[in-house]
Copies of this chain bind each other. A is one copy, B any other.
Amino acid sequence: MTGRDGGADIGPIGENSPVVILVRPQLAENVGTTARAMANGGLFHLRLVAPRDGWPQERAWYASSGAHRILDAATVHDSVDDAVADLHRVMATCPRPRHIVKTVMTARGAAAELRASANCGLRTGLLFGPERAGLDNEDMARADTLIRYPLNPDFMSLNLAQAVLIMAYEWWMACDETPPRELMTNETHVATKGELENFLGHLTRDLDECGFLRNEQKRPGMVRNLRHLFERGEVTEQELRTLHGVVTELSRGRKARQQ
């Protein structure tokens, strides 16, 4: 996973996924960690505009955690104009643009628009500025849209790879269909109401038997509270079998002690 040979399989290359364009990047490590962040979110096309220390740089491959394919295919350009010439839409990330009339989008809004553009067959690009200074005014004038991440306004400091990661993550999320919440049950399944009723019957019988429910007035409420507890969670069939065993064993122990 380190060094220039090999690298990880990073999955299929998205045809119309946005090109990440690093403008005058300073540290080769940051180009490598950018490639890693791109791979995380399914971005594959990397262009470098006038990288300070030249290109290629071995250190980028070492820092990429195996995202070699992205670095192997990266192209180098003299100018932003050259890097965006074949693209239809270009968005530029910038923390606080001033005195500019331009559409500003959140990362999430931009990701949705980039997906829409990709679906129309348009080639898109994302400009990221150099580590310290960020994009200059001439760079931003080449973009049709600016992207500003909603983040803690008192602490906006993001490194290059983190800035790329947030866009890559939003790009991925923009067509991800994972339900926000699901119960992972693996080999078992959520218990049916019948299975639950069967267990509650077992529990109530044994509690009646041991006298725990002997107060006739309180009995309905106590049984109902136990029911509420078990109905609330998403108890599985496997867990019910374990609980049956627990109740049986506890009763058996009590009976053994009574003998």
Contact = CB atoms under 8 A, between A and B. Distances in A.
A108 B10 contact: no
A152 interface: yes
A42 B169 contact: no
B184 A101 contact: yes
A108 B173 contact: yes
A106 interface: yes
Contacts of A19: none
Copy tally for this chain in the complex stands at: 2
Contacts of A238: 101
A181 B105 contact: yes
Main secondary structure, interface of A, reads: loop
A29 to B, nearest CB: 13
Contacts of A97: 184
A125 to B, nearest CB: 18
B183 A102 contact: yes
Given A151-B169, A152-B39, A104 B9 contact: no
B40 A151 contact: yes
A242 to B, nearest CB: 11
Contacts of A180: 105-106, 108-109, 112
Interface string A133-161: 00000000000001011111111111001
Given A108-B180, A155-B40, A158-B40, A101 B165 contact: no
A106 B178 contact: yes
A79 interface: no
A11 B152 contact: yes
Interface in A10-56: 10-12, 36-37, 39-42
